[in-house]
């Protein structure tokens, strides 16, 4: 490769990098650059290159997509109470599914895991603002398993399965059910009023 070709490649790489980083904020840009340098095994020597002049190796726009995806999948600042309020679970089994989803997907890194145990019922039900179930925590988990939302694992552990995940991620809140309930309530109210009028 000639020196002229190398220079052209450098310019193209710089242009692609700038285009990929331009839509991002300062923090995301630093994250992307750090990610690329680590991925390519590049170590910068601070006394040779000033921070403002640091240029990574050639990168494609896909890197910005990776960074955006990484940021999107980072732990949410939303707590379980807010999440539960958005999902509006109606039954104890749905609430257990909410807890299982939260622990596996949205909990802080130190709390996150892909299974539930009995102690989680009281802890996370209280945090979410749910009424505690009358059944024991172990029975509550077993009931959610029988409802099809959890799979039993070893040592009293239960894992949210695909049905439970889809319920929380895609089917809650159940607006259709809520609409039917309100419609039914309005119809019942009209019937009561009609009977009262007829009895006069």
Instruction: Name the pTM for this structure.
Output: 0.53
**Quick one: which of 114, 132, 112, 107 has its CA closest to 122?**
132
Measured CA angle at 180 (ends 174, 181), to 5 deg: 90
Q: Which residues pair with 152 in a beta bridge?
A: 158
Say how many CA atoms lie within 13 Å of 176 toward its Cβ.
Answer: 3
**Quick one: which of 99, 110, 103 has its CA closest to 141?**
99
**What are the structural domain ranges in the chain?**
3-72, 80-178
165: which 2 tokens?
């995940």
7 or 176, higher pLDDT: 7
Judge if the upstream peptide bond of residue 173 is cis by omega within 30 degrees of 0. Answer: yes
- Of 55-59, 60-64, 83-87, 157-161, the poorest mean pLDDT is in 60-64
What's the pLDDT tens digit per position in 36-69? 777 787 776 554 445 555 555 555 444 444 444 4
Task: Report which DSSP code applies to 51.
Answer: G
User: Looking at domain 80-178, which CATH architecture does it have?
Assistant: Orthogonal Bundle (1.10)
């Amino acid at each position: 490769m000639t020196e002229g070709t190398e220079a052209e490649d450098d310019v193209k790489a710089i242009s692609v990098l700038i285009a990929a980083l331009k839509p991002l904020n300062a923090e995301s840009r630093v994250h992307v650059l750090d990610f690329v340098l680590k991925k390519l095994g590049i170590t910068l020597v601070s006394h040779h290159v000033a921070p403002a002049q640091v240029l990574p190796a050639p990168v494609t726009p896909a890197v910005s997509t990776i960074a955006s995806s990484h940021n999107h999948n980072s732990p949410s600042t939303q707590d379980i109470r807010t999440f539960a309020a958005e999902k509006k679970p109606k039954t104890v089994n749905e609430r257990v599914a909410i807890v299982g989803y939260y622990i596996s997907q949205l909990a802080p890194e130190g709390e996150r895991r892909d299974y539930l145990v009995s102690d989680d019922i009281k802890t996370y039900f209280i945090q979410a603002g749910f009424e505690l179930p009358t059944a024991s925590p172990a029975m509550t988990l077993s009931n959610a398993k029988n409802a099809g939302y959890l799979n039993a694992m070893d040592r009293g552990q239960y894992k949210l399965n695909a049905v439970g995940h889809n319920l929380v991620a895609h089917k809650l809140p159940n607006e259709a059910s809520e609409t039917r309930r309100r419609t039914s309530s309005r119809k019942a109210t009209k019937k009561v009023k009609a009977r009262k009028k007829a009895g006069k």
